[in-house]
Chain A
Amino acid sequence: MAKKRNRRVLRVILCTFILCFLSSTALALYVDKDNTIEMKGKVQTRFSFRTEDSSGFTFPEVSAGDWVQFRNIAYLEMTHDLHKVMDKTWLLAPFEALKLDVQYHLVGRFLYEGIYEVGPDQFQMVKDENYDVIREFESDISLWEAYADLSRGSMFFRIGKQNLSWGETDVFRLLDQINPLDNTFGGFFEDLDDRRIPIMMVRGSYNFGRIGPLGNVTLESFWNPTPMDNTVSPFAPYGSVYAFPAPPPTEGVETRFIEPEKNMDDSRYGFRLQGMMADNFAFSVAHYRSYVDVPALRVVLDPGPVQELVYSDINVTGGSLNFYEGFTDTVFRSEVTWTWDMPIFIPETNAPLLLGIPESGTIPTKGMLGFMVGFDKNMWIRLLNKRNTFFVSAQYFGQWFPDFDERMRVAAVSFSTGEFETIKELEQSMTLLISTSYRSGTINPQLAFVYDPRGAYMIQPQLTFVWEPIRFLIQWTAVNGEQHGIGFFNDRDQLTVGLSVLF
């Protein structure tokens, strides 16, 4: 069954690939004479190779040079603007009567990760030993996005399977935790948007325009009814390439995932008010309810020990600000959030059984302040590029638990000590991104850098080449340092080569 599905996926990917070349350029296709239905697509294949030996809890063992990723993905997109065909069918009569502008957007996604079938032996063995889980994991056919836009005047609705991103922060998520993330195929090695999972949502906004001294006042809200869609961030199975390094599962201990119930009470929802002061200071205030990306751990007795990974809901209140400062020619941005009920891990509370106490664990929560300040600047470095500026973006990101408990830990065991990793009252990170382009946008270098002051860093240089309709990526990711934050992946350095063909 899985082999059949894999073959189906591969066939679609191959057809899309051929379609891309037949179209000869990367321009979309219009399928009707009025040019209202636009189709476009992309096929991508990525190969990643480790550039260092694995260590610690990473399973399976991998050597430098081993092939670790063979990810193939095809997207087929269709957008239909119904404006010109409103009067051509009675089906659209209600929309025309209400004077609504309507369009809809569909994206099909076809995914096949081939490393478990054709990759090194150790990954094929992972699949053999965990067949059902890996076969579910390695390929997928889905209607990835499917939504309709309805708008009239100051009012806008988007209904359907979609992504929604709020806030000002890159890389990390503060106000941007609405959609779940799929970290199973690369985690932070991959772009954030590639990991975002669209969910069924009704989203609406109303632009009030100017109210007193505030301009561009807009109220936006969303509602993801969980009876229709209770998707949460998937958990990378043990032994998969980008799984979190952890000791092997304990025999006899079941692992159970607790996901949101499919009832209305568990729905995600949120509100955001945006505005602008003095035509320069753009702000937002928001509150939303969503679910954690990484499930919280508790060990319960039911009747034997069961490791439960619970997708707790979180309630987040926060705001953001951005403005342009003319003297330095820089855009400054900031964001702050208060998570009212961030699940935390205290071994004695979450997993007393591990300490020999025969009780079921619970998941305590604490308020957590998250914040970011950053800037973006375009600057000329003519010695290196006479025709284009360098885009420089930097952020300082922090998480603070005002009611910090010294017993708090990260629910991850350090290989060297065998203890749960510590967490500080204030955890911090810094990011830096520099990019530019050469030869009319056909050569695009970029350098990303993430630093955790507790002694870990990631550096990621990459180069993208454009030769219509092909995009070629070469990227190296290196993570080094202590096992904190990104440092947990300090044995996963990799070289990635990617090829995309577009139409």
Chain B
Amino acid sequence: MGTERALRQSLTVSKLVILSFVSIVAITLILCVGSKAYSDVSPGDVIDKTNYEKIEGLVPDRMLAWVKDGKYVLNVGELNYDPAESISPFAREAMEKNVGKYDINNEGTIVESGSGNQARAIIGHPFPKIDMGDPEAARKLLYDALYSRLLQGSVRFAAMRAYYMGASSVERELSLLFKVFAFTGYPGAKDIDNPQKYEQLGIFKVTDPYDIAGTAILFWRFFGEKKDVSYGYLPGIRRVRRMTPANRSDSIFGTDYSIDDAGYSSYDGKIPYFDWKILAEKEALGMYLGPNQVALTHNEDGEWSASTETNPIRFGFETEGWTGSIWAPTNVIVVKRPVYLVQGIAKDPYYNYGPQTLWIDKEFYCGYYKEISDRAGKEWKMLHNVWTGAISADDTNRIVLYPSGTMVDERYNHTTVWDFYYSQSPWVTMARDNINDYSLGGFVRFCK
């Protein structure tokens, strides 16, 4: 009896062991297959609703859902260049020099390490090496993203274009001139007299449609915490009118973007006005124009210009036979890149967004996605951007270009696509600009 019981017990234990072993092996296999599904995208793969599981974790959940629902098709590609190298020689050189040179003060602004003085006329990225244990790591990353644009000097777009889209059609278009005068980021900035401590000055001018054409906005951004100063010219009253700088989460020109939604990191407000933290490091699929860099040339004014005879990006609404969303870009590629997930929460209690999560390239400093929740923390909008590097033929200049951004508001079933770089809108950097244009007196040139 005892032996029988012992034998039965022994058999039970053996069964248990075998069962456990098999379970463990099975679970491991499942996990491996599963994780192989996460990272098993290769150049040449086409990800659509039949194999969307492959990109789980590599894109935000919203994007995954779009692919699953057939709204999006992602073409996995590879780049023939290293995006981390898409910076000018002076910026590359500054990467070594800037290590430890700058820090973040209690107000969240950049200061010179040691002296604690406000840092101005920084060349290149201020924080080329970021320690992830640094409590200011997120803020430093955002400053690096900001400087990815500032190191291009003054920038000009002749005709940025926005498409306002409903579920099935393009409702309207907006076209505007945009230019920025930078006081930091590039070597020439040191020679600019800047007693007012401007970081950058900017002008937007609407050129179409007719009823708001002529509307122009002038803004001055300062180093430090100081709020922006902005003025608007309204053709309806023929006057320049002071605007409040605080409604940054308000819609801009009726688009699905707020004023703060632009920028290389997908945040264009003042960095100290948010609390930032890094949530995770991971791999992600970022959108690129194509495998190659676009060409930078000198235009007749001696400025660097990336121009194109065609419209490089095609969207769903203009692609024959496309059955996905009309706002989806249909001819871009996605490339696996290392990113940080950065969370931002506005300090302003009236800000119209709740927590936002930015997916920022660790080396390229560009924002691929921004997940936006409402003030109750519920999912609301998602921004996704297309990028490319640009290089001159003699390799004396390299920059990061931002051809397009798309903000999808699924709650209101509406989307805005910005097209920054197309045939009528060359990307001009190191622009020859008249700083006088950005004064109250000079701004009249842009007013009807």
A220 and B441 within 8 A (CB) = yes
Q: Does residue B444 face the partner (Cβ distance < 8 Å to A)?
A: yes
A333 and B242 within 8 A (CB) = yes
Within 8 A of A (CB), among B196-235: 196, 207-211, 213, 220, 222, 226-227, 229, 235
Q: Does residue B33 face the partner (Cβ distance < 8 Å to A)?
A: no
In this complex, the member of B226, B245, B254, B441 whose beta carbon has the largest number of chain A beta carbons within 10 angstroms is B441
Residue of A nearest to B446 (CB): A149
Residue of A nearest to B171 (CB): A468
B211 and A389 within 8 A (CB) = no
Q: Does residue A502 face the partner (Cβ distance < 8 Å to B)?
A: yes
Please report the C-alpha to C-alpha distance between residue A238 and residue B195 in the assembled complex, in whole angstroms.
60
A210 and B172 within 8 A (CB) = no
Residue of A nearest to B197 (CB): A279
Q: How far is the CB of A163 from chain B (nearest CB, A)?
A: 5
A468 and B172 within 8 A (CB) = yes
Q: Does residue B442 face the partner (Cβ distance < 8 Å to A)?
A: yes
A42 and B444 within 8 A (CB) = no
A154 and B171 within 8 A (CB) = no
A206 and B412 within 8 A (CB) = no
Q: Does residue B238 face the partner (Cβ distance < 8 Å to A)?
A: yes
Tell me which of B103-111, B129-137, B142-150, B432-440 binds A: B432-440
Q: Does residue B237 face the partner (Cβ distance < 8 Å to A)?
A: yes
Q: Does residue B445 face the partner (Cβ distance < 8 Å to A)?
A: yes
A35 and B436 within 8 A (CB) = no
Please report the C-alpha to C-alpha distance between residue A207 and residue B226 in the assembled complex, in whole angstroms.
24
Q: Does residue A131 face the partner (Cβ distance < 8 Å to B)?
A: no
Q: How far is the CB of A335 from chain B (nearest CB, A)?
A: 11
A442 and B171 within 8 A (CB) = yes
Residue of A nearest to B210 (CB): A502
A105 touches which one: B227, B239, B448 (CB < 8 A)?
B448
Chain B residues contacting A105 (CB-CB under 8 Å) are 448
Tell me which of A311-319, A321-329, A345-353 binds B: A321-329
B441 and A389 within 8 A (CB) = no
Within 8 A of B (CB), among A377-405: 377-378, 380, 386-389
A279 and B211 within 8 A (CB) = no
Q: How far is the CB of A174 from chain B (nearest CB, A)?
A: 12
A216 and B441 within 8 A (CB) = yes
Within 8 A of A (CB), among B231-269: 235-239, 241-247, 250-251, 253-256
Chain A residues contacting B439 (CB-CB under 8 Å) are 207, 209, 216, 218
A28 touches which one: B207, B236, B241, B256 (CB < 8 A)?
B207
Chain B residues contacting A170 (CB-CB under 8 Å) are 237
Residue of A nearest to B348 (CB): A329
Please report the C-alpha to C-alpha distance between residue A466 and residue B173 in the assembled complex, in whole angstroms.
12
Residue of A nearest to B172 (CB): A468
Chain A residues contacting B92 (CB-CB under 8 Å) are none
B440 and A376 within 8 A (CB) = no
Chain A residues contacting B420 (CB-CB under 8 Å) are none
Chain A residues contacting B210 (CB-CB under 8 Å) are 26, 28, 40-42, 77, 502-503
Residue of B nearest to A280 (CB): B229
16 A-B pairs (CB sep. < 8 Å): A26-B172, A26-B208, A26-B210, A27-B208, A40-B208, A105-B448, A149-B445, A153-B436, A207-B441, A218-B441, A324-B229, A324-B242, A387-B251, A440-B251, A440-B255, A440-B414
Residues of B within 8 A of A (CB): 158, 164, 171-173, 175, 195-196, 207-211, 213, 220, 222, 226-227, 229, 235-239, 241-247, 250-251, 253-256, 350, 352, 374, 412, 414, 416, 424, 434, 436, 439-442, 444-445, 448
Residues of A within 8 A of B (CB): 25-28, 35, 38, 40-42, 77, 105, 149, 151, 153-154, 156, 158, 163-168, 170, 176, 191-193, 196, 205-207, 209-210, 215-216, 218, 220, 274, 276, 279-280, 282, 322-324, 326, 329-331, 333, 376-378, 380, 386-389, 437, 439-442, 466-469, 471, 500, 502-503
